[in-house]
């Protein structure tokens, strides 16, 4: 059968497609921008006839209708690999559940049956002349989840850019069970505001950057501030190897800072696993042969990362303690984010011959009552999840400086960490270090 005829034979409405879902099924929505908007709405419409349908997604960008239309969770149970601001609201309300994971292992959970999939629903780019749908902005663990699925439904959206990958970047029309067409626009993240503290933290990291580094950059105000510093600097021939591509990288490409010319792997090509940003960024990626997508099992593998001579990983965290333990995903028992690839890149960057990993946070935060609190803690309590263990503590950064904890005994770690804490909390932290027997008497106050 001609591919166009095959396409037409599988084309149906979203309402028809979701009839393939049965009570008790696991349904996977992929991650981030690959969220199937029309299918989600149609599936929510079946809430009165379905029970115990479990759904899986990550980084929800728009209201999820199976959650919104089923507030008691009688029909649908929503689970997330990683959290957006919206996901945090669902988790806080008890309307969603978090699934811990290391990003480099996410695909293997599908392969090994730990994350079962009865029905996969993913948004893809329009079919090309050879019958292939590009996965576009989400390579990630897309192929593994589709291979694990009993039924595959694609939601074709002309706004999804066509992006070629190192591998696992598309699916052929013969491999899908149903096709739904949608023209709903994506939800684009609001521009991130860059604070003075973000700029100070970025300025503390910048001196450690050099020509020819391969860069993994997180998202947020600090990475954006650092991107601006780099764009205005004399640095040249940077490379991109990152799990998540955002507009910070677009700024570096537009400034001519990223050429990928010095990379030991994939020379001349920027590599990403998942993308979330502006329409301008998506247009930049469409049919751009200088940038490739790749699965997380490749991008986040420390054995791959270590092959870059000068690899630099820069990510945010929520808090760290005097021992060098880092929390990047919870505030007490409240889920804020996820492990994602932080530990993957901390591990890989250390193993690179001249690699460095930086984890950064503001030294303080102010609560709703206006009370100032330190993000540098004596030790973690109250259920805080440790994302990066003290044995792998890399460079820690606040607006007061950057310190490398690798190889330091507990008393030197305490001294280094306290040196980048807010001055108002340093005496308190010294007293805590003394009580915890990690403060040397000869240390200067």
CATH code: domain of residue 381: 3.40.1080.20
Q: DSSP of 300-341, one letter per residue?
A: T-HHHHTTSTTEEEEEE-SEEETT--EE-SEETTEE-S--TT
Tokens representing 352 are 């690179």
Q: How confident is the model over 247-286, as pLDDT tens digits?
A: 999 999 999 999 999 999 999 999 999 999 999 999 999 9
Q: Sort strands 334-335 and 330-331 into parallel, antiparallel or unpaired.
A: antiparallel
Separation CA 417–CA 326 (nearest Å) = 12
Q: Is residue 50 located within the same domain as residue 141?
A: yes
Give CA separation, 162 vs 61, 128, 133, 135, 297, in Å. Answer: 20, 9, 8, 8, 21
Last residue of a domain, one of 148, 181, 214: 181
* Active-site position among 5, 144, 167, 243: 243
Which band of pLDDT confidence, cut at 50, 70 and 90, is reported for residue 445? low
Question: pTM for the whole thing?
Answer: 0.95
Q: Is residue 243 located within the same domain as residue 110?
A: no
445 or 253, greater pLDDT: 253
**Residue that is written with structure tokens 């293997």 in the block:** 108
Surface-to-core class of residue 435, CB atoms within 10 Å of its CB (0-12 exposed, 13-18 middle, 19+ buried)? exposed
Q: What is the pLDDT of residue 325?
A: 97
- The pLDDT of 224-248, averaged and rounded, is 94
- The pLDDT of 404-415, averaged and rounded, is 97
Q: Is residue 169 located within the same domain as residue 255?
A: no
Where residue 96 sits, what CATH number does that domain have?
Answer: 3.40.1080.10
Weakest mean pLDDT among 97-111, 118-132, 221-235: 221-235
Q: Is residue 322 located within the same domain as residue 224?
A: yes
Last residue of a domain, one of 154, 181, 208: 181
Q: Is residue 238 located within the same domain as residue 127?
A: no
Residue 317 lies in a domain: yes
For the chain, the domain total comes to 2
Q: How confident is the model over 161-206, as pLDDT tens digits?
A: 999 999 999 999 999 999 999 999 999 998 888 999 999 999 999 9
Query: Residue 6 pLDDT > 70, yes or no?
Result: yes
Residue 9 lies in a domain: no
Residue 243 is a catalytic residue: yes
Residue 295 lies in a domain: yes
Q: Is residue 287 located within the same domain as residue 355?
A: yes
Q: What is the pLDDT of residue 399?
A: 98
Tokens representing 356 are 């460095």
Q: Is residue 365 located within the same domain as residue 407?
A: yes
Which domain covers residue 372, as residue numbers?
A: 196-435
Residue 200, C-beta contacts closer than 8 angstroms, at least 6 positions apart: 399
Averaged pLDDT of the chain: 96
Residue 189 lies in a domain: no
- The pLDDT of 315-324, averaged and rounded, is 96
Q: What is the pLDDT of residue 1?
A: 78
Q: Is residue 30 located within the same domain as residue 96?
A: yes
* Tally of helices (H runs) and strands (E runs) in the chain: 16, 24
Q: What is the pLDDT of residue 260?
A: 98
Query: Residue 323 pLDDT > 70, yes or no?
Result: yes
Q: Is residue 245 located within the same domain as residue 139?
A: no
Which band of pLDDT confidence, cut at 50, 70 and 90, is reported for residue 444? low
CA 243 from chain centre, in angstroms, equals 7
């Amino acid at each position: 059968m001609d591919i166009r005829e095959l396409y037409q034979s599988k084309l149906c409405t979203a309402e028809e497609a979701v009839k393939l879902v049965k009570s008790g099924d696991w349904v996977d929505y992929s991650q981030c921008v690959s969220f199937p908007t029309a299918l989600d709405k149609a599936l929510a419409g079946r809430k009165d006839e379905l029970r115990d349908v479990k759904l899986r997604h990550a980084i929800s960008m728009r209201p999820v209708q199976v959650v919104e239309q089923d507030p008691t969770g009688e029909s649908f149970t929503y689970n997330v690999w990683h959290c957006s601001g919206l996901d945090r609201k669902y988790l806080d309300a008890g309307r969603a559940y978090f699934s811990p994971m290391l990003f480099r292992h996410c695909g293997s959970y599908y392969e090994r049956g730990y994350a079962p999939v009865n029905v996969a629903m993913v948004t893809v780019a329009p079919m090309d002349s050879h019958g292939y749908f590009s996965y576009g902005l989400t390579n990630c663990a897309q192929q593994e989840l589709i291979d694990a699925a009993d039924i595959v439904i694609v939601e074709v959206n002309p706004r999804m850019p066509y992006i070629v990958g190192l591998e696992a970047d598309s699916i052929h029309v013969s491999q899908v069970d149903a096709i739904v067409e949608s023209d709903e626009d994506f939800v684009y993240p609001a521009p991130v505001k860059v604070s003075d503290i973000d700029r100070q933290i970025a300025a503390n990291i910048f001196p450690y950057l050099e020509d020819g580094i391969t860069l993994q950059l997180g998202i947020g105000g600090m990475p954006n501030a650092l991107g601006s510093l780099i764009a205005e600097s004399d640095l040249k021939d940077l490379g991109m190897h990152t799990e998540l591509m955002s507009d910070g990288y677009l700024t570096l490409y537009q400034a001519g800072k990223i050429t990928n010319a010095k990379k030991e792997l994939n020379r001349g090509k920027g590599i990403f696993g998942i993308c979330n940003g502006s329409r301008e960024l998506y247009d930049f990626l469409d049919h751009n042969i200088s940038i490739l997508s790749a699965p997380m099992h490749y991008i986040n593998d420390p054995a791959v990362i270590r092959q870059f001579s000068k690899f630099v990983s820069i990510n945010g965290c929520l808090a760290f303690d005097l021992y060098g333990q880092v929390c990047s995903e919870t505030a007490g028992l409240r889920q804020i984010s996820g492990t994602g690839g932080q530990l993957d890149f901390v591990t890989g960057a250390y193993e690179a011959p001249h690699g460095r990993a930086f984890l950064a946070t503001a030294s303080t935060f102010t609560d709703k009552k206006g009370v100032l609190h330190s993000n540098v803690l004596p030790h973690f309590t109250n259920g805080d999840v440790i994302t990066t263990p003290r044995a792998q503590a890399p460079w820690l950064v606040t607006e007061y400086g950057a310190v490398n904890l690798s190889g330091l005994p507990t008393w030197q770690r305490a001294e280094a960490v306290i040196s980048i804490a807010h001055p108002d909390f340093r005496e308190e932290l010294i007293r805590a270090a003394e009580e915890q027997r990690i403060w040397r008497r000869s240390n200067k106050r």
